[in-house]
Amino acid sequence: MSLVTAAAAPGTADAPGFAIYVHWPFCLSKCPYCDFNSHVRDRIEQDRWRAALLTELDHYAGQTAGRVVTSIFFGGGTPSLMEPATVGAVIDRIGRRWTLDPHIEITLEANPTSVESHKFQGFRTAGVNRVSLGIQALDDASLKFLGRQHSAEEALGAIDLAARHFDRYSFDLIYARPGQTVKSWAAELDRALGFATDHLSVYQLTIEQGTAFATLHARGDFVLPDDELAGELYEMTQAHLAGAGMPSYEISNHARPGQASRHNLTYWRYGDYVGVGPGAHGRLTLNGEKTATRQAKAPETWLARVEAQGHGTQETETIDPTARAEELVMMGLRLAEGIPRRRFREELGLEPEDLIDATALRHLTEGGFVALDDERLVATDAGRQRLNAVLAALLR
């Protein structure tokens, strides 16, 4: 099987594509801020897990025959804990069961510990052509607070290795940390820009229920920046990265022109994607209807279901027209490009005016938060900063 080694997907307007997400649920430890479906296990039977992932891919290939895969994403958990042979087997099976786009993007999330980064050559040989590194911060004190197992030195070393093995790579940073100021965050962004080539993800630290941080925050062990400072940090981030030639194409994601994550764009453009692995979600258009899929969440439960019935799907639900419209708008307005009118017609057979509260639209337009013209519905910079409030008004 032949895979492209480098280039970002060509800019064919704003087609959503068809993606496959593969969830690897295991981590070496649970980060205190994380509410993802991740688990710590002493031992993982790689051969058994590899076979189960391939079986579930076969199940969904039978439902989506003839589709062209534009991106594959190994997420987690910590996919860099997978053996390269497992990654290679998954990519090979996808190539056998579907048609691969000539410019397919194949991303693997990785932690920058020395053990995992030394597997980069194996992942590259397996077919991965893009990595996303969970750096999160560039100083050791912040990394310790965030529960990360790498140092700042290891992080920078991993970025250097990624640059040597992959033509495209990205890394994540978390801001609005306790004690952080606009000045200190600007300095950290400047340092990050010295290593970022084409893509950077920056996420505001939020307290998620059920995490260790939720408990610590509730009892006052640390204090986050207030809303005013958080807003200043967000605005400075947008301006700073745009000025460096890496504007936001989505609320938390920045890229140079043509280097946006093709896989993530499939989500936000409300395209179809298969989700395999514990807790993975999918969205598939089947017989003209949008269908939501969800796999069993607990790793052992998912594994047992796949081995018993050929897949670990726990829930399959047809998305009703109202929910479909809401999902389309909620995802699409995260993007700087907004939502083309064509997509409303293709997905719903309607125009945006048929779905959106007219009074709210007028008020939000006059307030400079959204814009609607002959081509598309867009949330402005100010609107994306306040997107939850904008969506609540538009979709009430």
For residue 40, the model assigns a pLDDT of 85
Q: Place 33 in a pLDDT band, splitting at 50, 70 and 90.
A: confident
Residue 205 contacts residue 214 (beta carbons within 8 Å): no
Q: Place 3 in a pLDDT band, splitting at 50, 70 and 90.
A: very low
Is the confidence at residue 367, as pLDDT, over 50?
yes
Residue 54 contacts residue 104 (beta carbons within 8 Å): no
Q: Please report the DSSP string for 186-232 in residue order.
A: HHHHHHHHTT-SSEEEEEE----TTSHHHHHHHTTS-----HHHHHH
For residue 8, the model assigns a pLDDT of 39
Average pLDDT over residues 308-322: 96
In this chain, the answer to whether the domains covering 18-267 and 321-396 adopt an identical fold is no
Class of domain 321-396: mainly alpha
Is the confidence at residue 85, as pLDDT, over 80?
yes
Q: What is the mean pLDDT of the chain?
A: 93
For residue 7, the model assigns a pLDDT of 36
Residue with the two structure tokens 């890496």: 246
For residue 32, the model assigns a pLDDT of 85
What architecture does CATH give domain 18-267?
Alpha-Beta Barrel (3.20)
Is the confidence at residue 289, as pLDDT, over 50?
yes
How do residues 86-116 score in pLDDT, each as one tens digit? 999 999 999 999 999 999 999 999 988 866 7
For residue 9, the model assigns a pLDDT of 42
How do residues 240-284 score in pLDDT, each as one tens digit? 999 999 999 999 999 999 999 999 999 999 999 999 999 999 999
Q: What percent of the chain has pLDDT over 90?
A: 86
Higher pLDDT, 380 or 13: 380
Which 8-state DSSP code applies to residue 37? S
Which 8-state DSSP code applies to residue 285? E
Average pLDDT over residues 175-185: 96
Q: Place 14 in a pLDDT band, splitting at 50, 70 and 90.
A: confident
Q: Place 327 in a pLDDT band, splitting at 50, 70 and 90.
A: very high
Residue 175 contacts residue 233 (beta carbons within 8 Å): yes
The arrangement of strands across the sheet holding 376-379 comes to 339-340, 376-379, 370-372
Q: Place 10 in a pLDDT band, splitting at 50, 70 and 90.
A: very low
For residue 1, the model assigns a pLDDT of 34
Query: pTM of the predicted model, to two decimals?
Result: 0.93
Residue 173 CB-density burial (10 A; 0-12 exposed, 13-18 middle, 19+ buried) = buried
Q: What percent of the chain has pLDDT over 70?
A: 96
Average pLDDT over residues 43-70: 96
Domain boundaries, the chain: 18-267, 321-396
Is the confidence at residue 166, as pLDDT, over 90?
yes
Average pLDDT over residues 300-307: 97
Q: Place 45 in a pLDDT band, splitting at 50, 70 and 90.
A: very high
For residue 113, the model assigns a pLDDT of 82
Is the confidence at residue 12, as pLDDT, over 60?
no
